[in-house]
Amino acid sequence: MRTSFSDNEGHKKHPAQRLAFRGLLLCLAIVFSYLEAQLPFLVIPIPGFKLGFANLVITFCAYTFGLPDAFFLSIARILIVALLFGGWIGFWFSLCGALCSFLVLALLLRFFRHAVSPLGVSAACAAAHNIGQLITAAVLLKSLSVCSYLPVLLVAGMLTGTITGVLVSLLLTYVPVSGYRSYKKEKS
């Protein structure tokens, strides 16, 4: 049997371990955000079309360590990325996107945990993220004209969400985290 790389039960006894693993995930999320911004060939020249690898870390965290951790991870990532690389416009875009995305993530994981796999969760989150960004754009520009962009963003969200969803599925299968409750129904 493989030893798990972290222990949910152990984290309650050892706060430092808990802190270390969340810090690790936060670092990963920030590095993914940075890489995405730095590699222009990764960004397909459609505005708003990002691969969203940071979401991979957030979704993985939500599945393994629970929703509250994922929420703080998400907010902390956006704050740090805004302070380090981006401006405050980017901050509002990310924040609104992340809040919409987290809302969908929380709803799906809370009520449909066994009905929807990471694939669907991730696709829905990515679409919600894009819708959140569109709302920010509409508020910033004080115009509803940007809504004509909605279909493209929805399709983009579905595609990128599916890619991250497959990766999350693989991670959950091959990275052992003890104390993790599988989304799959356990066969008795």
Partner 1 sequence: MPESRKQIQTRTGRGTARKLSQFVCPGDLIVYGILITLTVLSVLLPFLFSAAVPESDEALNVRIQCGDTVSVYPLSEPREIVLENRGYTVRVVIENASVSVADSTCRDKICVSSGKADRAGEVIVCLPAHILIAVEGGSVDADIILG
Closest C-alpha to 63, from 173, 185, 172, 158 = 172
Distances (CA, A) of 181 to 33, 114, 174: 28, 10, 14
CB of 168 to partner 1, least distance (A): 10
Closest C-alpha to 105, from 174, 160, 165 = 165
- Asked if 115 is part of the footprint of partner 1 (rule: CB under 8 A), the reply reads yes
- Asked if 188 is part of the footprint of partner 1 (rule: CB under 8 A), the reply reads no
User: Looking at beta carbons only, is 6 or 122 nearer to partner 1?
Assistant: 122
User: Looking at beta carbons only, is 71 or 93 nearer to partner 1?
Assistant: 93
Closest C-alpha to 134, from 100, 108, 158 = 100
User: Looking at beta carbons only, is 97 or 157 nearer to partner 1?
Assistant: 157
Can you tell me which of 99, 158, 163, 171 binds partner 1, judged by CB under 8 A? 158
Can you tell me which of 4, 8, 17, 169 binds partner 1, judged by CB under 8 A? 169
Chain residues 125-154 in contact with partner 1, contact rule CB under 8 A? 127, 137, 140-143, 145-152, 154
Burial of residue 122 (CB within 10 Å: 0-12, 13-18, 19+) is: buried
Can you tell me which of 117, 163, 175, 176 binds partner 1, judged by CB under 8 A? 117
- Asked if 120 is part of the footprint of partner 1 (rule: CB under 8 A), the reply reads yes
d(CA 110, CA 108): 6
- Spatial contact of 90 and 136, defined as CB atoms under 8 Å apart: no
CB of 176 to partner 1, least distance (A): 16
Distances (CA, A) of 101 to 2, 39, 78, 109, 133: 33, 24, 13, 12, 10
* Binding site residues, partner 1, CB under 8 A: 45, 47, 89, 108, 112, 114-121, 123-124, 127, 137, 140-143, 145-152, 154-155, 157-158, 166, 169, 183-184
